[in-house]
Amino acid sequence: MTAITRRTAFKLLGAGAAAALTGPWLAGCGGSGGDRAAIGNAGTSQAPWPTYTAAEVPPPDLVSKVSGGLNGYFTYPDKLVTSVASAPGDGSAVTATLMTYSPPPAPVGQNKLWTAINEAMNADIRMNLVPAAEYQNKLATIMAGGELTDMMLVTAAPRIREFVASQCADLTEFLSGDAIKDYPNLANLPTYAWQAMGRIGGKIYGIPIVRARMTNVLHVNRDHLDAVGATDDWTMEQFATAVAEERGGSFYPLGTFDSEWLVKNYFAGALGAPNQWAVDGGGAFSSTYATPEFRAAIEMSRKAFADGLFHPASVTAGQSDMFNEYYAGNVGALSGSFANYFNGTYQGRIGDTFTTDVGFPFSPGQTSWLFGGLFGYVVFKKSDPERLKMLLRIADFAAAPYGSKENELLNYGVEGVHFTRTANGPEPTKLAETESANTVPIGKYLGDAPDVIQCPGDKAVTQRAFDVQEALQPKGLVDPSLGLASATQDQKGVALNKAVSDAISAIVTGRADMSSWDAAVSAFRSGGGDTIATELATEYSAAQSSS
C-alpha cells in the first residue's frame, strides 16, 4: 500500500483548476467567518467516533503492544475467515471515482478480477480511475460543479471540507458510536484514522482509507553501515561520521527525490522538532517551522549537501529514479515507505545485492514524525438512506481484513486465475501483472483494511520490521492538528506549505543562504500561518471538551 507523498498532498492546483473553484456550492462562502461556520466543530454537538471492534481474524504470530501498532504474520494464514454475512450490493450500478498509480485496466467485461469482485459484491462497480498526478485537478473539476459519482476518494485539496459538507452525504447516523457495528469491517478501522479524517461541523462524512502510523522511515544499506561500525543507537555525531566515511567512488551515502524531503521525513523528527505543529499547555498552537530544532534539521541537510554526501541526481530525480539508484547499491540511505520494507517490495528489487534495513533516528530519544494514518477518505453522493446503507456495505466489503476470503479476492484475485497457493502465500500468475489490486484498486481506495507486517517467505525481515515498529512508534511525535478543521488551512495551506518547501529546497541545495529562513517563516506566519494556528487552537479546545 502506497502512502500519498508530499508532492501529491502539497501540490498546487494548476491555474485552470484553481480558477475553476467558483462553483455554486461556494456561493456565500467568501469570508473567513462563513467558512468556519461551514466546516468548524467549535460550538457544535460533536458526534462520537465509531466504536472500535477488532475483527475476528486468524491469530497473528506477532501481536503489537503499541497503540495503533500492526500485528505480524510469518506465513499467510491456512484457514481464511468470512468477513461479510452476504453479498453487500443490490445488483445496481455503483459509480466510483478513484485514484490509480497504474495503467488503465481492461474493461470489466474483459477483466476477470473486476468481474469476480462485482459478482462477489452483487454490484456493478463502475470505476472512474484517475492517474494520481491528475487527481487534484479532477477533484477541482468535480468541486466546481462536475457530477458526483456514488462514491469518491478525496485527498488534500483547497476547500475540500466546504465541498464535502455542502455536497456529500452526512453519514453520522450510520457510523457514529455503536451504529457502525452494522459494518464490522469498518468498525475494525482504528480510531486514529477516524480522528485524522476529522469531523466537519461535528458530523462524520467519510470512510477513512487507513494507513500505518509509521509510514516513512530511513531505508539504509546495512552492509555499508556495518562496514563503518554504525548501529541502531547511533548519535547525531556518529550518524554524520558514518555517512561521511561511506562516501567513495560512485557510492553516495544519502539520496533524496526532493531536496526538502529528508529534512521533514528524518532529520526534523530525529532532532525533536514538533510534527507540523506544537501545542502548549494552554492549547496554543505554533508552527514547527519557527523552532530551533527544525532550523537545525535544515542546516544539517544543507551541510550534507555541500559536503557532497547526496547523490548528484537528488536535485532532479523522481522518486522511482532515486530508488533505482538505491536498489543498485549507488545510494546508501533515503526516506521511503515502511510498508515497502515489511511487505518485501524492497527486498525483491534488491535481491542479493545488499541487505536493506531501517535506520533508527540518531537522537537519544529516537524520535520520529508519525504519520496521521490516513491516505484520504471516501465520501458518498447524497441519496436515500437505503441506498447509503448499501454503499456502506460495499465499503465494508472493500475494507475486509487480512486473513479473510474477501481480502484475498481484493488483493490477490481468484485462485488458479490470478494466483496459486504456496507455502509462502499466494504466488501471482502472469495475468496478475495486468489484473491486480493496483489496476483494480477497489480494495485500496473504495475501502481498505489495516495493514499487517509480513515479508512473504522471510521470517527474519518480518521480525525485524515488527521490532522496529515496537521500538520506534511509542517514541513517535504526533501532529496535534490531525483532524482539526481550519478554514484558512483549507484555503491557503497548500500554497503556504509549497512556499516553505521551496525555501527549504533552495537553502539545502545552496541556492539561498540560511539567513533566508527567517524571512520564509515570517512570510508563512503573516500569510496565514498565524491565523491557522488560532483556528486550530479553537478546534483543539472543542475536541478536548468533547472527548
Supply the CATH number for residue 359's domain.
3.40.190.10
Residue 463 lies in a domain: no
Cell numbers found for residue 338: 515502511
Report whether 216 contacts 275 (CB < 8 A): no
Return the percentage of the chain with pLDDT > 90, whole number: 84
> Is 464 domain-assigned?
no
> Is residue 467 situated within a structural domain?
no
Q: How confident is the model at residue 124 (pLDDT cuts 50, 70, 90)?
A: very high
How confident is the model over 297-309, as pLDDT tens digits? 999 999 999 999 9
Helix/strand/coil (H/E/C) assignment for every residue in 59-118: CCCECCCCCCCCCECCCCCCCCECCCCCCCCCCCEEEEEEEECCCCCCCHHHCHHHHHHH
Confidence (pLDDT) at 11: 34
Are 422 and 301 within one domain?
A: no
Of the candidates 4, 512, 6, the one whose C-alpha atom is nearest the C-alpha of residue 257 is: 6
Instruction: Specify whether 221 is located in the same domain as 295.
Output: yes
Q: What is the pLDDT of residue 146?
A: 75
The answer on 67 and 148 residing in a single domain is: yes
- 363 and 507 co-located in one domain: yes
- Whether the pLDDT of residue 26 is over 90: the answer is no
User: Does 96 share its domain with 33?
Assistant: yes
Residue 38's nearest CA partner among 204, 206, 200 is: 200
Query: Residue 170 pLDDT > 80, yes or no?
Result: yes
459 lies in a domain?
no
- pLDDT of residue 374 exceeding 80, the answer is yes
pLDDT attached to residue 156: 83
Which pLDDT value is given to residue 547?
A: 60
Tell me, what's the pLDDT at 38?
65
More confident residue, 32 or 61: 61
308 Cβ contact partners less than 8 Å away, ≥ 6 residues apart: 247, 252
What would the mean pLDDT of 234-240 be, rounded to a whole number? 91
Point out the domain boundary residue: 454, 487, 517. Answer: 454
Tens of pLDDT along 285-332?
999 999 999 999 999 999 999 999 999 999 888 889 999 999 999 999
196 shares its domain with 267:
no
Residue-level pLDDT at 16: 37
Is residue 414 located within the same domain as residue 498?
Answer: no
Consecutive H or E run containing 356: strand 356-359
Convert the pLDDT of each residue in 394-453 to its tens digit: 999 999 999 999 999 999 999 999 999 999 899 999 999 999 999 999 999 999 999 999
Same domain, 251 and 399: no
Residue 470 falls inside a structural domain = no
Distance CA(466)–CA(19), nearest Å, equals 46
Q: Considering only CA atoms, which of 278, 464, 468 is closest in space to residue 361? A: 468
Helix (H, G, I), strand (E, B) or coil at 127: strand
Please compute the mean of the pLDDT values over residues 263-275 and round it to a whole number: 94
Query: 410 and 334 share a domain?
Result: no
Describe the crossing of helices 487-508 and 292-306 by its angle, rounded to 10 degrees.
40
Say what the pLDDT of residue 232 is: 92
One-letter amino acid at 139 equals L
495 and 527 part of one domain: yes
Give how many domains the chain has, as a whole number: 2
Residue 122 lies in a domain: yes
Contact 448, 189 (CB under 8 A): no
Q: Looking at the whole model, is its pTM more than 0.85? A: yes
Does 305 map to a domain? yes
> Do 393 and 338 share a structural domain?
no
> Is residue 485 located within the same domain as residue 350?
yes
Dihedral angle over CA of 487, 488, 492, 493, nearest 10: -90
Taking residues 33-58, what's their average pLDDT? 83
Residue 421 structural domain? 6-213+374-454
Distance CA 532, CA 534 (A): 5
Q: So what's the pLDDT on residue 315? A: 86
The pLDDT of residue 494 is 86
- pLDDT, tens digit, 9 for 90 and up, residues 245-260: 988 889 999 999 877 8
Question: What's the whole-number average pLDDT of the chain?
Answer: 91
Residue 12 has pLDDT above 80, yes or no: no
DSSP result, 212-266: -S--EEEEEEHHHHHHTT--TT--HHHHHHHHHHH-BTTBBSB--SSTTHHIIII
Specify the range with the lowest mean pLDDT, choosing from 31-45, 374-388, 484-498: 31-45
Contact 537, 283 (CB under 8 A): yes
What kind and span of H or E run contains 196?
A: helix 191-197
Alpha-carbon gap, residue 300 to 514, rounded angstroms = 11
For residue 428, the tally of other CB atoms under 10 A from its CB is 14
For residue 405, what is the enclosing H or E element?
A: helix 405-412
- Within a 10 A sphere around the Cβ of 67, how many other Cβ atoms? 11
Determine the pLDDT at residue 262.
83
Residue 468 within any structural domain of the chain: no
